[in-house]
Amino acid sequence: MGQTQSDGEVQLGHIQRLYKKFVSECPSGNLHLHEFRRIFGVSAQSLTEESAYMDSVFHSFDTNEDDAIEFVEYVAAVHLVLRGKLEDRLKWSFKIYDHDGNGQLERHEVRRIIKIIYAIKKHSGQMEGDELSPDQVCNRIFELVDKNKDGHISLEEFMEGAQKDEWVLKQLKLDVRPSGWFIEQQKKNPYL
């Protein structure tokens, strides 16, 4: 049996290289929040919004909620960010938006993430001059996605709205930093 099982699965050699990189970055065998921030270039001097976003991303990957990312969680995160299906990436995005974990999004949760994304884009020079304000984006998302008009967005509404409307998808799909960082690291070292 070879190392590859199919195009959609990760090669054993690739996992071994990921493990070597993981152990070199995290000798304890766990990736902690301060290390995660360092890897993504978020320091104590970084924007508060950037730190808040990285905290949310970190906790979304920490599936067993032990305040550390183990290697298996790390591999799952890398796979999701680089090769995950749109549906899986949207579920991950929903989890980050759903700050209180109650399974539905309130306006303040959506506005919080939109404001963070705007602050990061502005700081990195990615903002376009004609963009809507975070409040306008939040209001438009709720108009287009909250089908039953109950003031909350369920996972089902989130998935349906994002897949039906390109603008909504662009706003809701979280790709501000993690995928860019992973892709950049892959270019630097294709053995990661």
Give the start-end residues of each E strand in 35-188. Answer: 104-105, 153-154
Residue 108 domain flag: yes
Residue 2 domain flag: no
φ, ψ at 31 (rounded to 5°) = -100, 115
Quick check: 8 pLDDT over 80? Answer: no
Residue 5 domain flag: no
What would the two tokens of residue 68 be?
Answer: 């550390």
- CATH number of the domain where residue 116 is located: 1.10.238.10
What DSSP line would sit under 30-75, residue for residue?
SB-HHHHHHHTT--TTS-HHHHHHHHHHHHHH-TT-SSSB-HHHHH
CA 117/CA 174 separation, integer angstroms: 9
Residue 32 domain flag: yes
Among residues 131, 133, 57, 126, the alpha carbon closest in space to that of 97 is found at: 57
For CA atoms 24, 27, 29, 30, give the dihedral sign.
negative
Q: Is 153 helix (H, G, I), strand (E, B) or coil?
A: strand
Per residue in 74-124, pLDDT tens? 888 878 877 788 898 899 889 889 988 899 999 999 998 888 877 777 766
Residue 80 domain flag: yes
Per residue in 43-85, pLDDT tens? 666 667 777 778 888 888 999 999 999 999 988 887 887 778 8
CA 155/CA 160 separation, integer angstroms: 8
Residue 24 domain flag: yes
With cut-offs at 50, 70 and 90, classify the pLDDT of residue 127.
Answer: low
Residue 30 domain flag: yes
What would the two tokens of residue 110 be?
Answer: 């959506």
How many domains does the chain fold into? 1
The reply to whether the predicted model has a pTM over 0.75 is: no
Q: Which residue range(s) make up the domain with 103? A: 12-188
Residue 122 domain flag: yes
